[in-house]
Structure 1
Amino acid sequence: MNALSGRKALVVGIANDRSIAWGIASALRAAGAELAITYLNPKAEPHVRPLAEKLGATLVAPLDVAKPEEEDALFAAITRSWDRLDVLVHSIAYAPREDLHGRVIDTSAEGFGLAMDVSVHSFARLCRRAEPLMRSGGCCLTVSYYGAEKVISTYNMMGPVKAALEATARELASELGPRGVRVNVLSPGAMATRAAGGIASFDDMLEEAAERSPMGRLATIEDVGATAAFLASDGARSITGETIHVDAGYHIMG
């Protein structure tokens, strides 16, 4: 129950109590971690701050990864409060709706570039900022989806974007391994989160995922949280560069 007692964890990506990041933050706290939690902007703050306070977060701060000054301020605050970091959770992604709902071949260069920056390069940037604070090693986690591996109807441009995220995580695992920093990817199954609502025909994706799963159900944000807490613990000290599916077995079905 206290596998993460004394650990300091930054969780980026909570939008509401249905967010995958909320499931992760809750599990990390239940395992004993102390939390820093971010919100996207003033509009999001009233939805996120009460959740952060519910978990007794030490730090609650804004973070729009498109604004370098907010990254600067966040890590300066973490340094002042803790002077170290043990766990980083990156659970954010974005694509312009007009590009997300169209064919990949028709996406704009600007839209594709923005999706890659927010969904992929931001993870590398946050890991770079976390690296000097992980002096005794650490764990960096990000969130992907099976559409990174196989074509999923209506997932469209997020397929190649998430594939790039998984490849980036492997490279980071290789580069940070000598410092004792592990980097892994969580790949949850389809879930009714706020972010997923932007995907066309998402209700159909949920129904199909439940039907195809060997377990006959969808995974939950609590399932993802439990897996994240394990990966952040010493029990996973030799696991890095992996993409861990949390989807009730959906990904194994032909």
Structure 2
Amino acid sequence: MTKPHSHSQDSSPPSTDLSASDGLAGTAAKRGRPSLEEAQRLPARILEAGWEVLRDHGFEAFTFDRVARHAHIGKATIYSRFAGKREFLEALLAHKTVERRLEIMKLGAGLPLMDSFCMRAAAVMHVLHSPEGRMMERLVDWCDQEFGNGEMNYRQAMYIDALTNITDELREIAHEQNLALAEPELAARFWLEGLLGHARLEGPVGEIDAAANERWARAYSEFFFASLRHSGNITAPSAQP
């Protein structure tokens, strides 16, 4: 995502004394430098610590000091990877978005198109109504409020990213199953907007009803793909004129 200019920064400047302040330095002195695998995992570990801070303390109380304590590292290690709060929260939003997408995309692999998308629709409803899903919504709103401007909207960027991925997935599954999909971008848009619209109209959910989610997902998927077939937007090659 293009990063708008922002003066919002963590209130405390980064420490430059790595030997004194960085928890990794003490560990390195005892057992040598972190392995390549540990170094590669560190950014995700820092971001997950940031997620825990937001969950436990809220957005207004988010600081790099708290993130460092949760991750058991020095604050200088965070600043070596993220210039400030905006860069950190953007990276956290991207990290959680990709993590959620990969979990959902694994569902229904190898099943017929409608069945795989039915499973994913139920999963999306579950995620959107979960405490983590609600926190993601707050994170998007926070980024838009704090860092967005007339040219940058994080929610719109997430929508476009989701639309692109669903379009690609529709194309891939249709190709694997020897189906012709006339307008995959339009189909992806209708699919996504139906899911998001349903979740928003349902409003806050106290306790997730998995069975109700699955019933709705099945009905929605059957209706959606029946409409595609009826309109001629999805056909088997042998059925084409």
Same fold (TM over 0.5): no
- Larger % of strand: which? 1
- Larger % of helix: which? 2
